[in-house]
Amino acid sequence: MLIGEAPGRDEDAQGIAFVGRSGRLLDAMLEEAGWNPTSEIIIANVVKCRPPDNRPPQQKEVNECLPFLRKQIELLKPQQIALLGATAVKHLLGDKRPMNQLVGELLTSESYPDQKFTVLFHPAFILRSPTRRGEMVGWLKNLRRQRTSSR
């Protein structure tokens, strides 16, 4: 399971997470890392509706949406969860360290005692910093290896 921040314009219009430029890049990186994005990956967001002017979600919006995300996690029981970007990390784990210190880390949360979270860059960051794409694909490959070895 991958968890991002919030829907963008394309996602809000289609009702599907990660279908815009970031989503297409994410799919390409997942495929490069050996994943099938349509059959092996479930994607969700911290908030379910696009915030006005594409701003980061406010705490009130997060508080209203987190019960839905928690229920998704409870029902799906994903083998792995990767948090895409600082907003997802902040609102699910409460960790405010810079992303460069968190990417690739395996973290836990009292709110999700049976779950481990891996922190990854958000694909929008990779669009702005394409030199980090190889690193991101490497982390996705690492997740794939972890999944394969835990079976």
**pLDDT tens by residue, 118-143:** 999 999 999 999 999 999 999 999 99
* Residue 14: per-residue pLDDT: 87
Q: How many domains does the chain have?
A: 1
pTM: 0.92
Where in the sequence is the domain holding 46, given as residue range(s)? Answer: 2-149
* Residue 147: per-residue pLDDT: 73
pLDDT above 70 (res 148): no
Give Cβ neighbours of residue 80 (< 8 Å, ≥ 6 apart).
1, 116, 118, 143, 146, 147
Given pLDDT bands bounded at 50, 70 and 90, which one contains residue 114?
confident
pLDDT tens digits for 55-98?
899 999 999 999 999 999 999 999 899 999 999 999 999 988 99
Rounded to 10°, the helix 59-76/86-93 angle is 80
Residue 71's H or E segment, with its range, is helix 59-76
pLDDT tens digits for 13-53?
888 888 889 999 999 999 999 999 999 999 999 999 888 88
* Residue 119: per-residue pLDDT: 96
The CATH number given to whatever domain includes residue 10 is: 3.40.470.10
* Residue 19: per-residue pLDDT: 87
* Residue 150: per-residue pLDDT: 63
Question: To 5 degrees, how large is the angle CA 2–CA 52–CA 96?
Answer: 50
